Amino acid sequence: MNLKNYWDKAISFDDYMNVAEERFNNNPDPNDHYQEYYELGLQRMNRTLKTFKAHEEQLQTLKSKNFKGKILIISEPWCGDASATVPAVYEFFKSHNEVKVFLRDSDSSLIDLFLTNGTQSIPIVILLDDSYNVINHWGPRPEYGTELLKKFKADPESYPREEFYNDLQVYYAKNKGKDAVDEILNLI
């Protein structure tokens, strides 16, 4: 599957951050039902950008894999999972590989190729070769986050939504993107 058309429509990470700022400060869509999440998303993305540090073993793994491809991330700046992982993935790969972001809600045909249990969950990190063919993909959250979600869905009365969200954000804040990068490296 060749994704060059989507790559060409994708934006830089800096532009992605600009979209988040614009939507928070002066959203052109007054009916955006995600409006309340942009401020939190920006705070989390900026925290991740400030605290992310690539681990030496991760850098050595990337070097040993000799990955020359591209990273295409399907995301939206209102998404809690994305706000914790997209900046970490960008920071890790930016000096080795070209990284771009495709806004999920601008065109659902791309996310429809990468559904998670039938849903358009984000972020999705797509590993492309230099000819824009899909090597593999990851997402929408690290395995630990998925386990927390399964626990919540299995018994929301004993593990309520608020507790799940809190546990997930505490995990993201402490992990600082390490698990996401490790899991992506394993797919290269």
Distance in angstroms (rounded) separating the CA atoms of residues 168 and 181 = 17
Q: What pLDDT is attached to residue 73?
A: 98
- What is residue 150's predicted lDDT score, i.e. its pLDDT? 96
For residue 1, the model assigns a pLDDT of: 82
Q: What separation in angstroms does the CA of 74 have from each of 108, 121, 153, 162? A: 10, 9, 24, 26
Distance, CA of 119 to CA of 111 (rounded, Å): 9
- Separation between Cα atoms, residue 61 and residue 147, nearest integer Å: 26
Whether 3 shows a pLDDT value over 90: the answer reads yes
The span from the CA of 160 to the CA of 155, in Å, is 8
Tell me how far apart the alpha carbons of residues 141 and 121 are, in angstroms, rounded to a whole number.
9
Q: CB-based contacts of 80: which residues, under 8 Å, 6+ apart?
A: 37, 40, 41, 44, 165, 168, 169
Percent of the chain with pLDDT over 90: 96
Q: pLDDT tens across 134-156, in order?
A: 999 999 999 999 999 999 999 99
Q: In 32-175, which residue ranges form alpha helices assigned H by DSSP? A: 35-51, 56-65, 80-93, 108-111, 143-154, 161-175
What pTM did the predictor assign?
0.95
Instruction: Please name the residue that has the structure tokens 């979600």.
Output: 149
125 strand-pairing partners: 73, 138
pLDDT in tens, 41-93: 999 999 999 999 999 999 999 999 999 999 999 999 999 999 999 999 999 99
Mean model confidence pLDDT for the chain: 96
Domains and CATH numbers, the chain: 4-187 (3.40.30.10)
